[in-house]
Structure 1
Amino acid sequence: MIATPSTTPHTGQDYLQKNPTGTETRSPNQSLLPLTANINSRDNLEIGGCDLKTLVEQFGSPLYILDEITLRTACRQYRDFFQTYYQGESQVIYASKAWSSLAVVAVIATEDLGFDVVSGGELHTTQKALTQMGYSNQEIAQKIYFHGNNKSVAELKQAIEIGCTIIVDNWVELQTIPQLAQNLSQQTIPILIRLTPGIECHTHDYIRTGHLDSKFGFDPNQIEAVFSYIAEQKSLDCRGLHAHIGSQIFERQPHQDLAGVLVEWLKIGQEYGLTLPVLNIGGGLGIRYTEEDDPPSIEEWVKAVSEAVMKACQRCGVPLPKLIAEPGRSLIGSACVTAYTVGSQKEIPELRTYIAVDGGMSDNPRPITYQSAYSVVLGNKMSAQINQTVTIAGKHCESGDILIKDAQLPQTHPGDILVIMGTGAYNYSMASNYNRLPRPAAVLVNNGEANLILRRETYDDLIRQDCLPQKLLS
C-alpha cells in the first residue's frame, strides 16, 4: 500500500528551527538545516543569504552548498567550550576525512583548529592550503596529526619531512619510523600511540573503531611491550596516547568511559619513564540527520569529556594532559546541503512513486553503503503543503541507488529543486565517478555571496588519466 504522509512537518518551513537569540547559541550538530537557512519572498530556500534555485541556475546540479557561518560556529563552539570546561591545555583538530579540500582547510584553520589527516593526499591538501595561507613550516607541523592503519613508507617519509605528529597504529609503523628517522637524519619524530580501548557504542558496525575486534590500534595486552620498546628508541618522541571509539554516537557514557581507560594507560606509560603529556580522545559526536535523531549538543559533549578526563586524572594522580579532540562530522556535516534537479517520475499504483534526481550514489554513497537516512525539502516550494510519500532515486544504473525511501514532499515536477540536508560529511569525500558521472561542484556561501570551492568535473576530466596503447590504434 502507498504510505500516507506524516502530519509533521506540514511544509518545508517546519524544518526551519527559529531561534530569536541567533545562530551563535545553537549547536550546529542538532540542526537539520544550516544555521543561516531562511525562506525568501520567492518561497525558495536560502542559505548564507543565497537563493538555492539561483545557485543551481548559476552553478548547475547536483551542487554541494556549504554554509560558512555554520561551519565556523561549530569550530568556535568546540574550541571555546574546551577552554571553558577543561582546566588544562586543549586543542581541537578537524578530522579531514569528513571533507578535505583547500577551502575547507582554510576556513577551519582561521578558527585556530588543527587537522587530523589519514593519507598522503589529505596531508598534501592540508599542507598546501596552510602554505598558501602563509603559515610557517613549524606552524604547519604543529597543526597536523597523521593517522592511518597502513601508512606506506612513502607516506611516513612525507610526514617526517613535514614534521607533523604521527599517530602510530601498529608494530610495523613503530619499528619502521626509527629506521626512517636515521635515514632522513631526523633526531626525533613526534608520535602518539593509538590504542584499542575495548569500548562498545551503539552505531553502525562499519563506523565502530573502539571495540577489540577492530583493524585500528594496539590491543590492551600490547601496551606494556609498546611502552618498553619506545623507551629504548631515542628517535621516538612519544607525546601521548590516542583512541577513537566510533562515529555518529549519541551517547556520552562511552566517551566518559574512554577517558578513564586512557588516563590509566597514561599512568602505566609514566612508569616506563615516558612523560606522555598529550591525550587524544578522538571524536565521534553525531549529528541530526532526521527529526528522530537526538544527539547531545557540542557543549554537552565537551563538558562530559572534559569532566571525565579531569576526574580520572585526579583519581590516578596524573597531571592534566593536553587534551585533543578530533571532531569531523559534527563540525561540517550539518553545514552543507546538496541541491538536485528533479527529473523523471514513475508511479506504481498501490505500491510506490519514484522521483529521480540528477545525482545519487556517486555524490552520496552513504545510503547504499550504510543505509543512512536523510531529510529532504523542495527548495523552490518551501511553503507548499506536503501531500505525497515518494522514494527519491538516483540516476545510476543500480537498483540500490536510492537516496531516501518514503520521503514526505509536496507535489513535485521536473525541474524542481530537491534539497537533501546534512551532506557535509562523507559525501564529497566518498564521491565517485560511477557510471562515469562527473563529480559535482561545491560553493561556499556567506552574506549573500557564493564562492566556488570545487569546480564541476567535465567529461574530459573523466578520461584525463586514461591511456590508449598505440597497438590498439593500428
Structure 2
Amino acid sequence: MAFPFPLTVNPAGHLVIGGVDALELAEQFGTPLYVVDEQVVRDRCRRYREALEPVGGLAVYAAKAFWTGGMAQVVRSEGLGADVSSEAEWRLAMLAGLDASRLVLHGNNKSPAELRLAAEGGVGRIVVDSLWELDELERVAASSGARKVPVLLRLLPDIRAGAHGSIQTGHRHSKFGIPIEGGQAREAVRRCLGSARLDLRGYHVHIGSQILSLEPYRQAARVVAGFAIEMARQLDAPCYEVDMGGGLGVRYVAGDEPPAIEDLIGALAETLEGAFTAAGMEMPLLIVEPGRSIIAEAGVTLYRVGAIKRLAGGEIVCAVDGGMSDNPRVALYQARYTAVLARDPYGTPAEAVEIAGRLCESGDVLVDGAALPEVRPGDVVALLTTGAYHHSMASNYNGLPKPAVVTVREGQARLWVRRERFEDQYACDALVQTLGANRSL
C-alpha cells in the first residue's frame, strides 16, 4: 500500500505516533481522538523561521488551522507570531503569552469590538479587507483614542490557486480582499495616507489553500510588488511590509508532492526582491502565514470500528465512532485521506472498504475505497494528515461530543484538550442551566 510519507511501527507491528503506540492512545484516551506529534510541529515552525532569517522575514502561524492553548504555547516558544481571526483566537494567544505586536488580525467582516480590541491591545497589524472596514477602523481608532493603528491592505489579485473552489481566495469573485481592478485598492491607499489614525505598513495577499505549485505564489508576488511600486510612484505610498499569506499544500495521499518550505520562501523572496530592486525601492519585510503546512501532517485521528456491512453491490462499509462532526472536510471539499489499520498499518490489503461515519447523513464518509487488511469490529483505524481544520471546524451534530486532543513527543502523551461532556455542549441551554446538567433523566 502506498503512503504519503513513511510510518513508524513498533516490534508488535502497531502504528507509533511520537513514540507512543496508537492502540495504547486509543485505550487510554478513548476514540475518536485527535493526536498531534509535537515534534513535527516544532520542526515545521523552525524550518519556516530559519528559511526567513536570511531575508529578515516573519512567520505568523494561522490559528484557524488548529488553535489550542498548548499549540499557542508551542508557537510562542518556537518564535513565531500568530494570525488570528476573532476575539476568541486573540484572547487565547494573549493567555498563552504571545507578543501582541507579533499578531495579525484577519477577517472579511470584523466586528467593531474586534477592531477596538486590536487597536487598543497593540496588535502588530490589522489586515483591512474592504473600504467599509477601513472607514470603520478609522472611526474606532478615533473614538478609542488608540495609537496610530498599523494597517495592511488585503489585495484581490485575480489569481486562482488551491485544491477546491471553496478554498480558492484570490480570484476576482472571492469575498476576500480589495479589488485592484476598478481602482478600489488605490482608493484604500489614498484614504490611509490621508488618515491621522491609520499607519499604512504595506499589503497582504492570500490566494488559496493546499497549493502544490510555486508558480501561483510567484504570480501573486509580482502582482503585489507591481501594485506597491505603482502606489509609491503615484501617491508616494510607503511599503514596509508584504504579507504573502499561507496555503502551502501538504501530503494527504500518495502522489501529493508539495514544494518544500525553503523553496517557497526562496521563491517569494527572490520575486519580491527582484521587483523592488528594479524599481529602486528597498525590499519590504516578508511575512508569511503558514497554518496547514505546520500542523496538518503532525495530526492523526484515531477511530474505533463498529458495524461492518457487505452491501448488495459487494461494497464493504466499516462504520466508525466519529465522522463529519470531527472531520467535515470530506463533505465540504471532497478531501481525500489515507487510512491505515493501527494494529497492522503495513499489512497486505484484503478488500477496499468504505470508512463511514456514524452521523445521520449519507454523505458522512471519511474514506471511500480504503485499502486495508481485513477489518474487524473493535479495530482502531487511523486517518493520516488530520491536524489542520479538523479540531477547529468540529461540530456537535447529532449531539456528539468533540474529541479530545492529545499531544505526543518522545514517547510521552499529554492531554491538550479533554473530550467534551454533555454539560459542555449544553452549557448555554436555558433548560440545562435551570434544572442542572446532572439531574436524573
TM-score (norm 1): 0.88
- Determine the structure 2 residue equivalent to 1:80: 50
Q: Which residue of 1 aligns with 2:438?
A: none
Match of 2:69 in 1: 102
Q: Does the 8 Å CA contact 1:32/1:334 hold for their aligned counterparts?
A: no
Q: 1:383 to 1:218 in 2, by over 3 A?
A: closer
Whole-Å Cα distance in 2 between the matches of residues 471 and 331 of structure 1? 43
Q: Distance in 2 between matches of 1:234 and 1:215?
A: 28
Structure 1 position 126, deviation (Å): 1.2
Closer, same or farther: CA 470–228 of 1 in aligned 2, 3 Å: closer
State the shift of 1:67 in Å: 0.4
Q: Secondary structure at the match of 2:430?
A: coil
Corresponding position: 1:252 with 2:214: yes
CA contact (8 A) 1:387 1:411 kept: yes
* 2:120 aligned partner: 161
Match of 2:363?
400
CA distance in 2, matches of 1:280, 1:361: 33
Partner residue of 1:151?
110
Alignment partner for residue 170 of structure 1, among 109, 130, 138? 130
Deviations 1:171-199 (A, max 9, x none): 12101112211211113111111010111
Q: Which position in structure 2 is the counterpart of 1:211?
A: 171
Runs of 4+ in 1 over 6 A off after TM superposition: 469-472
Which structure 2 residues correspond to residues 11-410 of structure 1 after superposition, within 5 A? 15=3, 32=5, 37-84=7-54, 86=55, 89-130=56-97, 140-164=99-123, 165-220=125-180, 221-271=183-233, 272-410=235-373
What's 1:21 paired with? none
Shift of 1:327: 0.9
Instruction: Report Cα offsets for 1:38-79 as digits up to 9, x if no partner.
Output: 211222111111111111111000111100111111111111
Q: Partner residue of 2:384?
A: 421
Task: Identify if the C-alpha distance between structure 1 residues 189 and 402 changes in structure 2 by more than 3 Å, giving closer, same or farther.
Answer: same
Report how far residue 269 of structure 1 moved.
3.0
Identity, in percent, stands at 41
Q: Which amino acid aligns with 2:146?
A: Q
Amino acid across the alignment from 2:290: P
Helix, strand or coil at the partner of 1:227: helix
What is the identity, as a one-letter code, of the residue corresponding to 2:355? I
> How many residues are aligned here?
432
TM-score (norm 2): 0.95
In structure 2, runs of 5+ residues without a counterpart are 436-441
Give the SS at the match of 1:195: strand
CA apart distance, 1:315: 2.3
Q: In 2, distance between residues paired with 1:383 and 1:254?
A: 36
RMSD: 1.8
Offset of residue 382 of structure 1: 2.8
Change (3 A) 1:468 1:350: closer
CA distance in 1 between counterparts of 2:376 and 2:257 reads 33
Aligned residue identity for 1:444: T
Q: CA separation in 2, counterparts of 1:464 and 1:81?
A: 45
Q: Which has the higher contact order (CA 8 A, sep 6+)?
A: 1
Distance 1:293 1:56 in 2: 28
Partner Cα separation in structure 1 for residue 428 and residue 40 of structure 2: 36
User: In 1, distance between residues paired with 2:186 and 2:430?
Assistant: 51
Q: CA 1:38/1:341 → structure 2, altered by over 3 Å: closer, same or farther?
A: same
Q: Is the 8 A contact 1:249 1:295 kept in 2?
A: yes
* CA displacement 1:396-423 (0-9 Å, x = unmatched): 1111100000110000111111000000
> Which residues of structure 1 form unaligned runs of 5+?
1-7, 10-14, 16-30
Distance 1:470 1:358 in 2: 29
**Structure 2 partner of 1:24:** none
Cα offsets for 1:408-448 (capped at 9, x unmatched): 00001111110000000000000000000000001110011
Tell me the residue number matched to 1:412. 375
